[in-house]
Amino acid sequence: MRAVDIIARKRDGLTLTAEQIDFFVQGFTQDTISDYQVSAWLMAVVLQGMDPQETIDLTMAMVRSGEQLNLEDIASFVVDKHSTGGVGDKTTLVVAPLVASAGVYVGKMSGRGLGFTGGTLDKLESIPGFRADLSIEEFQAQLASIGLVVTGQSGRLVPADGKLYALRDVTATVNSLPLIASSIMSKKIAAGTNGIVLDVKLGHGAFMQTEEEALELASLMVRIGTKVGRKVRALLSDMSQPLGRAVGNALELREALDTLHGHGPADFRQHCLALASQMMMVAGGAESATIAEEELGHLLDNRQALAKFRTWIEAQGGDVAYVDDPSRLPAAKISRELPSPRTGYVAALDAREVGLTSMLLGGGRAKKGDSIDHAVGVVLHAKIGDRVEKDQPLLTLHANDEGKLAGAQQRLLAAYEWSDEPVDPPPLIHRVVT
C-alpha cells in the first residue's frame, strides 16, 4: 500500500477503504507519510468529498492515532457537550455545573479559542489559579471525585487531529464537512464519554451560515457518534447575533456567574437550559426535554448549580473568592458607553462584526500562540427586537488601549440595522437533531 495511490484514488473521486484511510492517518501520525502528500490528500477530500462511511472510518482512524480513555470504572454514564463556536458563547460555564448538579457526570476536554474571543479555558483562566492543563490521570481522578471536570485537550488523545488541522489551516482545506466532523467527533469519542450533545451554530457569527449547512454537519456528526455506540444529539442554535450580552473573556465569565447567581440575561439562561436538558436526555436522566428544563431551572434558582461551579473551580485550583464576588474579575482601564444614533427597533445585529471588534480590542486570537487580554470586550445593551431611544446607551466597550477605541466604535455602529416598526427576535434554537 502506497500513500500516492491513496491520494490518486481520492483525487479521482473513488471511495477509500477503512484500511487505506487507517494506513494514511497512522503513517502521517508516525511521520512515515510526508506533509506534502497529506496536503494533496486533504485538497482531494475537499474537492471530491467523502461518503458517510469514509467519514466514520476517518474518525475512528484518528481515534486510534493516540490513547483512548475508558471511564466505565468511574461512572456508568458520562456526558460531554461541544459547540462549533460563536460570539458570546459561554454556555459550558453554566451548562457543565448545572448538569453535574443534577447528578450526571460531565467530563469535557476543550481546546483554545481562535478568532473572536478565547475559548472556555481562556474564560476560566480569568480566575487566578485555575488549572486548565490537567493530565489524563488528574482528569479521571477529578471526574470520579466531584462528577465534573473541564480541561485542555490532552496531546495523548487524537494526535492525528492536531497534525491534520495544522496543515488544513495553511492549505485552505478547513472548510470540508467530513474533515470538520471527523475532527470534532474523534476527540469526543477518544475522551471516553458515553453521551455527546452538539451545539451547532448557524448565522453570520458562525462557521455554518445557513440552516441547511448546519443541519448537514449536525446530521453527519450524530451519525458518526451513533455508529460507534455513543448517544448523540445536536441542537441547531442561532448565531445571527451574539449569545447573551457580553463578548470578551472575563465579561463572559461574569455573565455566566450572574446566570448561576440567578440574574443573567434571559436569552442566555434559556439557551443553557435547552442545551442542558438535551444532555439530561442522552444520559437518561429525564422523561422529556420539557421536564428536564423545569428541573434544571430549579437547580439554577436554588443555587445548586452555583455550588457545583464553586466546587469545580476549587478542585482545579481556582480562587473561589472570584466566584463569590465576580466584581473581582479582571476589568479594563477604559469603559466607554456608545449611545444609539437614532430611535427605533434593532432589526439586525451582525454577530461577526461584534466578535471581530472584541478580537481587535485584544479579546481573541488571530493565530495560535497570540496572547489574550481577559479584561477587554463589548457588552450589548440592545439586541434584535429591542426598542432604543436616540442617545440611549447602545453598548459599552471595555478596552485597555485608547487608540483601538475609535475604530471599534465605528465597526460596532455599522453592525446594527434599524427599523421603525417592531421586529421579532430570531429563535434561540432552530431544531434538535437525533
For the segment 386-426, what is each residue's pLDDT rounded down to a tens digit?
A: 999 999 999 999 999 998 888 899 999 999 999 999 999 99
Catalytic residue among 183, 186, 237, 240: 183
Confidence label for 367 from pLDDT (cuts 50, 70 and 90): low
Q: How far is CA 293 from the centre of its chain?
A: 21
Please tell me which residue in 89, 161, 199, 258 is annotated as part of the active site.
161
219 included as an active-site residue: no
The predicted pLDDT at position 207 comes to: 85
Residues in the chain: 434
- Cβ-proximal residues to 233 (8 Å cutoff; 6+ apart), any chain: 196, 197, 198, 222, 278, 281, 282, 432, 433, 434
Q: What is the pTM of this model?
A: 0.94
Catalytic residue among 187, 188, 271, 374: 187
Q: Is 424 among the catalytic positions?
A: no
CB atoms within 10 A of CB 29: 21
Nine-digit cell string for 98: 448545572
Q: Which of 210, 230, 211 is nearest to 221 (CA)?
A: 230
pLDDT confidence tier of residue 383, bands split at 50, 70 and 90: very high
Region 326-340: mean pLDDT is 95
Helix (H, G, I), strand (E, B) or coil at 237: strand
Indicate the pairing of strand 334-339 with strand 429-433: unpaired
> How do residues 242-287 score in pLDDT, each as one tens digit?
999 999 999 999 999 999 998 899 999 999 999 999 999 999 988 8
- State the Cα–Cα distance between residues 320 and 237, nearest whole angstrom: 31
State the Cα torsion 133-237-278-62 to the nearest 10°.
Answer: -50
Q: What is the rounded CA–CA span in Å between residue 75 and residue 89?
A: 28
Residue linked to cell 445571527? 240
Residues 323 and 127: beta-carbon distance below 8 Å: yes
Run of H or E residues at 414: helix 405-414
Note the pLDDT tens digit of each residue in 159-208: 999 899 889 989 999 889 999 999 999 999 999 999 999 999 999 888 89
List the catalytic residue out of 10, 81, 123, 168. Answer: 168
Q: Which of 189, 182, 198 is nearest to 233 (CA)?
A: 198
The pLDDT score that the predictor gives to residue 34 is 95
pLDDT one-digit tens code per residue, 124-137: 999 999 999 999 99
367 is known as an active-site residue: no
Radius of gyration of the chain (CA): 22
Catalytic option among 82, 230, 374, 398: 82
> What's the Cα-to-Cα distance from 310 to each of 98, 130, 306, 314, rounded to whole Å?
11, 12, 6, 6
pLDDT of res. 286: 85
pLDDT digits (tens, 9 = 90+) for 143-164: 999 999 999 988 899 999 989 9
Helices (H) and strands (E) in the chain, counts: 17, 13
Is 245 a residue of the active site?
no
Report CA dihedral (28, 31, 37, 40) to the nearest 10 degrees: 40
- Give mean pLDDT, residues 303-327: 97
pLDDT at 110: 84
- Position 169 scores a pLDDT of 83
Domains with residue ranges and CATH for the chain: 3-49 (1.20.970.10), 78-156+187-324 (3.40.1030.10), 331-419 (3.90.1170.30)
Active site residue 201: no
Q: Give pLDDT tens digits for 9-64.
A: 999 999 999 999 999 999 999 999 999 999 999 999 999 999 999 999 999 999 99
Q: pLDDT at residue 305 above 80?
A: yes
Per residue in 84-123, pLDDT tens?
Answer: 988 999 999 999 999 999 999 999 998 766 556 678 998 9
